[in-house]
Every structure is written in structure tokens, then in C-alpha cells.
Structure 1
């Protein structure tokens, strides 16, 4: 078991859950997926063709700086692979068409979860993204994970809303 993280769509953040005066516990795979998807991964220096196809713009210069704001975690400077996902970059995307941004979101999530297979935590991981039928631009996605030596897959469902998506 691992500490439970409860995701709040309205505040776009996760927080630990407390039950009976103690930290609540949850499936460690769910916690690993949430950290992987909802932590800001450092953006690459150049945009991929898929990034450009959905209308992502390069990171603007930070005020008073000559460097682009590529986010990320400072500890990644000492790691082979950065943690987190680049979902935050979709704030710079244009919702043109029904599928290009969805495919980009799936690719971003798959990139963020690749470590599960690399480290032997999962034998297979797949991500499916859809648009929610609400006024607020909301991306819904499901993550299906099959653990090594298991035929049964676990599914996890998430929603992510952001401002400025047109």
C-alpha cells in the first residue's frame, strides 16, 4: 500500500487523504500513475512534429531571463529520465479537430508512464484519451496496466481540465 493521493479536478491538484487522523492508503500503482501524469515533466528544447501539429507554441521567455520556461523538477538534473508528464504543454495547444490533440495527450501520457515497463512494474501500459462532454475543456483518459505475470489488467480513470484551450 501507498499513501492515497486524491485528485481535485477543480483545483487541478492532488493532495493526500486523511482518514481517522492518519494518512489513507491506496493502490501503489494508482499513486505512481498520478505522480507520473500530474507532475510537470521538463519540456524538450525543440517541439516534435506532433507537438507542432496540434498548435503547441514554444515556451515563452521567463521574465528577466534568456531561457525558456521548460518547467520540470530540479532533481531531474541528476536523473537519467525526468519524472512527470508534459500534459501542462497542452495549455499551449489549440483544440483543432477532434483527434490530433487527443493523440498528442495519449503520446504524452505514454511517455510519462514508460518507466513502469522499463522498471518491470508493468508488462503493458495503454492510454486512451477522449473529450468530456462538458462546457469546461476537459480531457478524460483511461490508463490500462497489466502487471508482469498477470492476465488481468487494471484500469485507472482520470480527467484533466485547463484554461485557455480553444
Structure 2
């Protein structure tokens, strides 16, 4: 078991919770996926063609700095593979309803979750992104993880809304 992270849709962040005066526990795979998807990964210095095609733009210069704000976590400075995802870059996208945006989000999720395969925690990962039927611009993700050796699958569902998506 791992520390449970409870996702708050209204505030768009996850947090630990307590149960009987102690930290609540949950499926460690769920926790690993949430950290991988909803931690801001450092953006690449150069945008890919697909990034540009869906409207992701380079980070603007930070106030008082000549360096671009590529986010990320300081602990990744010397890591070979950064943690988190680039989903935060999708908040610059303004093309809701287009399938290219969904495919880019799926690619970003795969990038963030690849370490599970590399470390032998998962045999494969499938990501399916869809637009929500609600009036709020919301993307829904279905993550299917196939466990090694057993071929058993676990499915996790997340939704994500962001400002500026029209």
C-alpha cells in the first residue's frame, strides 16, 4: 500500500488525506499514476511538430528573467528521466473538440507513464482521452495498465479541466 492521494476536481489538485488519525493508504499504482500525470514535468527546449500543431506554444519569459519558464521539479536536475507530465502545457491549447488535441494529450500521458514499463511495473499502458459531454471544457482519461506476467489489467479514470480552453 501507498499513501492515498485524493484528487479534488474543483481545485484541480491532489492531496493526502487521513483515516482514523493516520495517513490513508491506497493502491500504489493509482498513486504512481497520479504523481506521474499531475506533477509538472519540465518542458522540452524545443517543441515537437505535434505540440505546435495542437497550439502548444513555448513558455513565455519569466518576469525579471531571460530564461523561459519550463516548470519541472528541481529534483530532476540530475535525473536521466524527469518525473511528471507536460499536461500543464495543454492549458495553452484553445482547440477544444479537435481530435488532434486528444491524441497529443494521450502522447503526453504515455510519455509520463513510460517509466512504469521501463521499471517492469507494467507490461503495457493504454491511454484513451475523450472530451467530456459537460459544458466545462474537460478532458477525460482512461488509463489501462497491464501487469507483467499475469496479464491482469487495472483501469483508472481521471478528468481534467483547465482555464482558457474553449
* TM-score category, normalised to shorter length: over 0.9
Q: Which runs of 5+ in 1 are unaligned?
A: none
* Cα RMSD, aligned residues only: 0.9
Displacement of 1:130: 0.3
Matched, 1:120 2:115: no
Displacement of 1:95: 1.4
- The 2-side partners of 1:158 and 1:89 are apart by 17
Displacement of 1:22: 1.0
Q: Give the total of aligned pairs.
A: 166
Partner residue of 1:109? 109
Partner residue of 2:24? 24
- SS of 1:116's equivalent in the other structure is helix
- SS of 1:101's equivalent in the other structure is helix
Displacement of 1:19: 1.0
Deviations 1:4-37, CA, capped at 9 Å, x for gaps: 0000111010001211111111000000000000
Distance 1:125 1:69, change over 3 A: same
Matched, 1:39 2:39: yes
Partner residue of 2:81? 81
Displacement of 1:151: 2.0
Q: Which runs of 5+ in 2 are unaligned?
A: none
- The 2-side partners of 1:38 and 1:80 are apart by 19
- The 1-side partners of 2:97 and 2:13 are apart by 28
- The 2-side partners of 1:141 and 1:54 are apart by 18
TM-score in terms of structure 2 length: 0.98
Runs of 4+ deviating beyond 4 Å: none
- SS of 1:78's equivalent in the other structure is coil
- SS of 2:113's equivalent in the other structure is helix
TM-score in terms of structure 1 length: 0.98
Tell whether the 8 Å contact from 1:41 to 1:82 is kept in structure 2 after alignment.
Answer: yes
- The 2-side partners of 1:61 and 1:84 are apart by 22
Displacement of 1:96: 5.3
- The 2-side partners of 1:101 and 1:9 are apart by 21
